[in-house]
Structure 1
Amino acid sequence: MRKYLSVGIMALMLILILAACGEKSKEDVVSKLEENLEKMDGYKAEAVMSLKTGKESQSYNIEISHKKKNYYRVLLKNEQNEEGSQIILRNDDGVFVLTPALNKSFKFQSKWPDNSSQPYLYQSLVKDVLNDSQSEFKSTDKHYVFETATNYQNSNSLPYQEIYFDKKTFTPAKVKVLDKDKNPLVEVKFSAFKLDPEFAKDEFKVEKNMTSSIFGVPAASQEESEVKEFSVFYPMETAGAELAETSETETENGKRVILTYKGDKNFTLVQEKVETSPASASPEQVNGDPVSLGFTMGALKASSLEWSYNGVNYYLASDELTKSELVDVASSVQGQQVK
């Protein structure tokens, strides 16, 4: 009898030991993620973001720097299009979207990045985990995985995300942003992540980040930007409206094309060749938010959305489209060429 009792006690002790050394619960992981954010002074990370939201896939190399509490620098480098490379910056002076190759910058009165999900920012991912009490959780060999709801205030097309945290460091390893059918349309893969790094004194300064050395190419000159012709692109998503009128005028830079759409909700889309700003130009003030269109960042205002891509400026305006609809229409312009 004592023999069987002893064996039973040993088995119970073994089970308790294994349980203590076993997988962390969802609550344990969430607690550790919160602890990481509270203790860290900042981080630097490198990642590749792949987008499948347009006709052709886009890929960006991303460099992220964050210093507590409100200093951010996100470099989005498009290998196929240097003019499309941009920097999102937040410092004591505000939020900026910079395009150094064109000497172009926007300054926003915005709460970015706190007002929306950001798939490449650590604290945004943890915040989405904390805010979704219904999130799904699983553990793999190397990762703790959460499926959560997203918070894209200006778009409803990407409602879910899968977030993979490294089991050893509790830092992000991969993020998949999903559409309503759970298809991954955006994927961010982190290749490096360092907590509490050192930062250069001018790392978050606008002047430093507008220099040509950021991308290894000189800023475009006015003469180089004056290409007279460009291909006209049309939106695939039109909120039920149809193209009613096309007009074209000549400008100093070449041509300006105005597309007028009419239907339940009317809107106008203007396209013209980018005019490179003088090196001394001040940032354009925007009472709105920086938004991602997938292939580039745009400046979203109350009833308009402006962005640049492939050497062309786009301006979408409507008093009838919602902000979400403005983003959806603008996002669908990329890659849809009609001759």
Structure 2
Amino acid sequence: MRRISWVLAMVLCFSGLLAACGPKDADSVVKDLNEVVGGLESYQGSGVMTLYSGDAPQEYKVEVWHQKPSYYRIALTNAKKDITQIVLRNDDGVFVLTPSLNKSFRFQSDWPDNQGQVYLYETLVRSIIGDNTRQFVDEEESYVFDVAANYNTHSLVRQKIWLNKADYAPKQVSVSDANAKVVVDVKFDKFEFGTKFEKEAFDMQKNMSANAGQSQAPAEGTITEPSDSESGEAVPQVNEEVTTPEDNAGETDPGTESGTPEANAPGAEVNNEQAPANDAAESPEATDETTGAIDIPELGDFGVIEPTYLPEGVDFKGEPTIMETEDDYAVMLRFEGTYNYTIIEARPQDRASSYAVTSPVDLGFTIGMITTELPRTLTWFDEGMEYRITSDDLPESEMVKIAASMQDQTGK
């Protein structure tokens, strides 16, 4: 009898050890993720993001830095064209930097708290924790969650997230649309917690002047802002003058009568819609800043990019309208139907320019700026060009789709 009791005790003990060391369930992993995020001080990750929204997949190198409490640096580099855009958050606000164009836009925003980003660790963990209908798979080296996609665009519905079993670092994220088609895929080749960054890692001026393809070596410290004498470069200043391609487009337009306001100029009407006034100089929410450190290519004509996506019931009206002066060259496309909007394409100059109160918006291939008041304008930069969609009634989700369809197109 004693022998049987001893054997039973050994079996129960061994079973307990197996249970303790056995595979984790979803609830256990979620509990651990809460602890990881709660103790998160900093991280650094890099990988490749592939977009499947166009005719051909487009790849971007992604580099993500974060330091507690709210410092972020995200660099998106077009792998084929080697063009980098940087999204930066520090004590001065949120910046969208395009070093190759010598352009920087500053926002007073709580980004990324109000916008999920597929390459940010906190966004992924929040998606997992917040979805009570989450699906969970325990693979050999990864924990895989299938959860709802919590992003600003309604076209992204579900996402699968692969986490490293050893430390819960992200390995891969695949985001799908309503038809279960993968639209965005991110594969991390490196992700480390507890990174120590240099003092200037999140400094706007340093990120603008540094080579876009170079990373800064880690070394923890406080964020400082160099003076003119220390950096030897012109320090970006907030511009007070407001100048846009439409402002300098001339008195008349080939498609308008002499003496009428320039199409889509600030205060003018296009398709019975008033173009946005240049009131950003009075608003701190969005400011365009420039430096004199980079030479902008000489202006001239260019191939017009036409969107391959149009909302249902919308048609292209007429021919592109050319707005050309000695200093500017811009093209405007008009669209009418279910929604009425215009698209302006221009070569940005290294000069003072400003936009109405705006918020950053993730376009996938870059970060754009969208105004918060009607008429709304979505602005973004790509391959040395500036693009703007302006409308009174076009939803933001449709603007994003149109912008995505213009990416990687050949000008006509």
TM-score using structure 1 length: 0.90
Deviation at 1:137, TM superposition (A): 1.1
Deviation at 1:99, TM superposition (A): 0.2
Overall identity of the aligned pairs, in %: 37
Count how many residue pairs are aligned between Structure 1 and Structure 2. Answer: 331
1:288 aligned residue: 358
Letter in 1 for 2:52: K
Letter in 2 for 1:128: S
Say if 2:311 is the partner of 1:238: yes
Deviation at 1:44, TM superposition (A): 1.2
Deviation at 1:260, TM superposition (A): 0.7
Say if 2:404 is the partner of 1:331: yes
1:76 aligned residue: 76
Q: Structure 2 CA distance, aligned partners of 1:257 and 1:113?
A: 33
Deviation at 1:46, TM superposition (A): 1.4
Deviation at 1:319, TM superposition (A): 0.4
Deviation at 1:336, TM superposition (A): 4.3
Deviation at 1:77, TM superposition (A): 1.5
Alignment of 1:188-337 (within 5 A): 188-215=186-213, 221-222=295-296, 224-246=297-319, 247-252=321-326, 255-275=329-349, 277=350, 284=354, 287-302=357-372, 303-337=376-410
Q: Structure 2 CA distance, aligned partners of 1:166 and 1:316?
A: 41
Letter in 1 for 2:324: E
1:63 aligned residue: 63
Classify 1:336/1:62 alpha carbon distance in 2 versus 1 (closer, same or farther; 3 Å): closer
Q: Structure 1 CA distance, aligned partners of 2:125 and 2:354?
A: 32
Say if 2:119 is the partner of 1:120: yes
Deviation at 1:211, TM superposition (A): 0.7
- My pick for the range that moved more, 187-196 or 90-99, is 187-196
Letter in 1 for 2:113: D
Of the candidates 165, 168, 173, which is equivalent to residue 166 of structure 2?
168
Of the candidates 179, 182, 194, which is equivalent to residue 181 of structure 1?
179
Deviation at 1:9, TM superposition (A): 4.6
Deviation at 1:338, TM superposition (A): 7.0
Say if 2:27 is the partner of 1:27: yes
Deviation at 1:267, TM superposition (A): 0.8
TM-score using structure 2 length: 0.75
Letter in 2 for 1:323: E
Letter in 1 for 2:208: M
Q: Structure 2 CA distance, aligned partners of 1:52 and 1:202?
A: 35
Classify 1:250/1:151 alpha carbon distance in 2 versus 1 (closer, same or farther; 3 Å): same
- My pick for the range that moved more, 229-238 or 171-180, is 229-238
Deviation at 1:239, TM superposition (A): 4.2
Gaps of 5+ in 1: none
Q: Structure 1 CA distance, aligned partners of 2:37 and 2:171?
A: 16
Q: Which has the higher contact order (CA 8 A, sep 6+)?
A: 1
Classify 1:118/1:54 alpha carbon distance in 2 versus 1 (closer, same or farther; 3 Å): same
Deviation at 1:57, TM superposition (A): 1.6
Which SS does the other structure have where 1:105 is aligned?
strand
Classify 1:34/1:252 alpha carbon distance in 2 versus 1 (closer, same or farther; 3 Å): farther
Bigger Rg, which one: 2
Q: Structure 1 CA distance, aligned partners of 2:325 and 2:293?
A: 22
Q: Can you list the C-alpha shifts for 1:27-69, whole angstroms capped at 9, x where unaligned? A: 1111111111222311111111111111222111122111111
Structural RMSD (CA): 2.3
Classify 1:231/1:263 alpha carbon distance in 2 versus 1 (closer, same or farther; 3 Å): closer
Classify 1:325/1:232 alpha carbon distance in 2 versus 1 (closer, same or farther; 3 Å): closer
Q: Structure 2 CA distance, aligned partners of 1:338 and 1:214?
A: 26
